[in-house]
Chains A and B, each alone.
Chain A
Amino acid sequence: MARKILELKGVRKVYGDNVILDDFNLSINENEFVTFLGPSGCGKTTTLRIIGGFETMDAGSLLLDGVEISGLPAHKRPINTVFQKYALFPHLNVYDNIAFGLRNNIYSNVYDIGVMNLMEKNGFDEEEIDSLMKKLTMIDKPKDVKEYVINHFKELSSYYQFETKALSLIKEKKAKLWGDIKEEMNAPINLVETLPVKKAINKVLDTLKDDVYYKMISEINKRSFKEDVIKEEVTEALKLVNLSGYEDRDVSQMSGGQMQRIAIARAIVNKPRILLLDEPLSALDLKLRKAMRLELREMQKKLGITFIFVTHDQEEAMVMSDTIVVMNEGEIAQIGRPEDIYNTPVNRFVSTFIGEANIFRGVYPEARRLNMLGKTFKVSAHDFMPNDPIYIILEKEDFDICSLDIAKIKGIVKACRFKEGSYEVDVDIEGKSLKIISEDKLTIGEEIGLTVAPNNIYCEDISEKKAKILANFDDANILEGTYLGNQWVSFLGNHFRTYITTFIPGEVVDVVIRPEDWDLMLEDDMKKAILVGTVEKTVFTGVTFQIWVNVNGNTLLVQDYMNVEVGDTIGLSVDFYEIHLMKVADEEQPLEIQEIRRKAKEAALKEFEEEDETL
């Protein structure tokens, strides 16, 4: 069970007589890359703006972590946006643009971040950091974070405790000499009784200065504290978007792609719960767009922030998302994983809309070759095994029109529309429809030849990549397993179905399962469970329970809303599409698998060499 972060319930939005959204319901999980996909006017941008707080809704509710936020203005929501046209501040340089939120935001977020970093540096344990941070990241967090944090530390600091107690005793007893209050103070050092009381207390306080809380307070009270934290955070954000060293540049001197990165850095530096992206790639050229897709996706996994991405581009949605929300006329047409939406569209709209994307199923027959549309293509990808089935995503712009005699694919022109300076052409290739972009006008019925450059064929296996990313965060369970072939995998002594097809039967794999993806089964349901285990430990995290379950001597981490008692026997199951598989180093494979891999690699290398020779 993944944790819900955002819920829209019965949302309605009307402009004049136009109903944009009506009874719109959606829930979004934490740490997910969600894409709103649909044609223009489908309400996707309006939904995004409602979440961001730039539009009000006419009815319904908007819940963040279960708390209603529809009444909060945009600047009070822990949500940041990357705008379509970037909206960088032209009078500020790159550094000041990124620092803008930290410097000026109403909640002085910079203190949370700074205090957290400082606590980590001073060796506080995680539990103590978390308990303080939880109080600071709530929607109703204290207005003056600095003051709150200082008071919090003062209560814990022996320095301040001693000082407060001493001052109140002096006031109470009108003490002039140390002897008057010595008994009650229980000072950590011995002092002569006849010392003046103020001097004595200062002497004691001097010895208490290595108290870690005292150090924290004096650090936070430093004048440069805020700017130091900002500098650290901005530097880190710039590093994340690969723009280190551009701090002093003027934003107007930056290219489109760089402005895009600055806009992302400016948003994420505030550590939002949710990042909204409003068609951020639409202004970039194709090459940059392709690079940014993967970069954004990796950024999302690294940061562990929920991304909500709006686009009308099917390929973009397919490549980037964990979950796609296909929208049409203010309603959700389908929600699902990219593969599900492609394979099993629920209605005609989804199937035609997704069908507009050039997505094909193909096979990788041998090193650096690809079978699709009944033809064999040369590709640059070389990390697949022979006969791996894969998805191929091609851009309309990737096709080159060529003369019929050298053409890889031949097709008949079905339609030709003028669009943004060039022609969008529908081509029919033996029953499969394809969209391409042409510089010249083509006549309907004409037969044309097409080729694709090897570098333009995107056939990275999305599922393998996903497993790798998941394994790197989130206390994911990583288990040893064996791929049985035919979409079956065995681990923990049981056989499971998976959605992955790209391994060799008998190959050793790492199985990755997120804690929230386990389904907990109790009592009667337990018969349906695939695994049975004993509860070792449970921890309440504020919203969900973390449960450690011992199954056949392996400990699994499970996250659920239900609590169970330590020692209980419980059942676990997991949906086939939540079982992710990851490659294991060759040395750990059985010998025959190693042999197959070695041969494949040799073939790929040979292919490279041959190509070099021809070049």
Chain B
Amino acid sequence: MKRFKGLAIPYFVWLVLLVVVPLLAMFALTFMQTNGTNLATAVFSLDAYKRMLDPSIYKALWNSLYVAVLTVVICILLGYPVAYFISFSKIKNKSLFLLLLILPMWSNSMLRIVSWLRLFSTDALAALNLVGTDAAVIFVTVTTYLPFMIFPIYTVLEKMDRGLIEASKDLGVPAWKTFLKITFPLSLSGVSSGTLMVFLPAATGFAISQTIGQGKVRLIGNLIQTVFEKNNYNFGSLLSIFVTVMILAVVGASSLFTGRRKH
């Protein structure tokens, strides 16, 4: 393995230049007042931190959490049965069914979001006044990220030893209880990685809420976008770091959960 160590250098350089340095720069920016990225006029200031007290931030944060958590729950409820039935069915072309699931993902996501907006605005659906509601935002988020939930669950179920289910039945346990006691607990690692893969983009994205929410549903992503648009890089940086820390906390909690499961 030693011989190939050198191959990791490009990525390492990339990591330092494009991830570590910018993060440090962002951190530094939070303590200044600058005009955009122009450091010539920079002065030390805790203005950004003072603005963190603004209740609109917590409102946006709450909205993000609300949308993301609901999206994850709905994705699990919709995605688990799909993954389960594809994995346990006796059909030969399981990959074909999976392909059908990914197929929409091959088109541009912005295009799909806008399509939903158009659909909601058609005569037939306009009466429901979906545009600008939480429900519509969550609905589109779910349709966008559902495959990310199905795939990890499917993979885990597919790898599961079918002998375990036979063993459970052999011990006198009926099918539904076998699912609760064996199949489901063993697929939790898939559910948790699916949760991460759906939760993160759903909590931090801004395209869906902006397009479908029409400015009425403000998530933390929208807030950051607006702040940067107003050239306030200091407050924008602080918000971004704040969100990053939150994401790390979620990932940490989730790995702790799966880690305990697997021992």
Contacts and interface: CB of A to CB of B under 8 A. Distances in A.
Interface of A: 52-54, 73-76, 79-81, 83, 85, 87-91, 100-101, 104-107, 109, 250, 252, 266-267, 270
The 10 A-B residue pairs whose C-beta atoms are closest, nearest first, are A105-B172, A101-B171, A87-B167, A87-B163, A104-B173, A74-B169, A75-B169, A81-B170, A75-B172, A91-B185
Contacts of A109: 172
Interface residues of B, number: 21
A541 to B, nearest CB: 26
A163 B22 CA distance: 82
B97 to A, nearest CB: 24
Contact of A90 (B169, B174, B186): B186
A106 B186 contact: no
Given A87-B164, A104-B173, 9 more contacts: A74-B166, A80-B171, A83-B170, A85-B161, A87-B167, A90-B164, A100-B171, A106-B172, A270-B171
B263 interface: yes
A50 B172 CA distance: 16
A80 B172 CA distance: 8
B182 A250 contact: no
Contacts of B172: 75-76, 101, 104-107, 109, 270
Contacts of A266: 171
Contacts of B168: 89, 100, 104
B171 A83 contact: no
Interface of B: 161, 163-164, 166-175, 177, 181-182, 185-186, 261-263
A250 B170 CA distance: 22
Contacts of A88: 167
Contacts of A83: 163, 166-167, 170
B256 to A, nearest CB: 16
B134 to A, nearest CB: 37
B17 to A, nearest CB: 42
Contacts of A107: 172
29 contacts: A52-B170, A53-B170, A54-B170, A75-B169, A75-B170, A76-B172, A80-B171, A81-B167, A83-B163, A83-B170, A85-B163, A87-B161, A87-B166, A88-B167, A89-B164, A90-B186, A91-B261, A100-B173, A101-B171, A101-B172, A101-B173, A104-B172, A104-B181, A105-B171, A105-B172, A105-B173, A106-B177, A250-B263, A267-B170
Contacts of B163: 83, 85, 87
Contacts of A101: 171-173
Contacts of B177: 104, 106
A76 B261 CA distance: 30
Contacts of A74: 166, 169-170
B116 to A, nearest CB: 40
A251 to B, nearest CB: 10
A101 B170 CA distance: 9
A105 B261 CA distance: 23
Nearest to A266: B171
A107 B169 CA distance: 12
Contacts of B164: 87, 89-90
Contacts of A104: 168, 171-173, 177, 181
Contacts of A52: 170
B259 to A, nearest CB: 13
B108 to A, nearest CB: 41
B167, B175, B185, B262 interface centre (most CB from chain A within 10 Å) = B167
B174 A106 contact: yes
A270 B177 CA distance: 17
A252 B173 contact: no
Contacts of B262: 91
Contact of A89 (B167, B169, B174, B261): B167
B185 to A, nearest CB: 5
A51 to B, nearest CB: 11
Contacts of B169: 53-54, 73-75
Contacts of A252: 263
Nearest to B189: A91
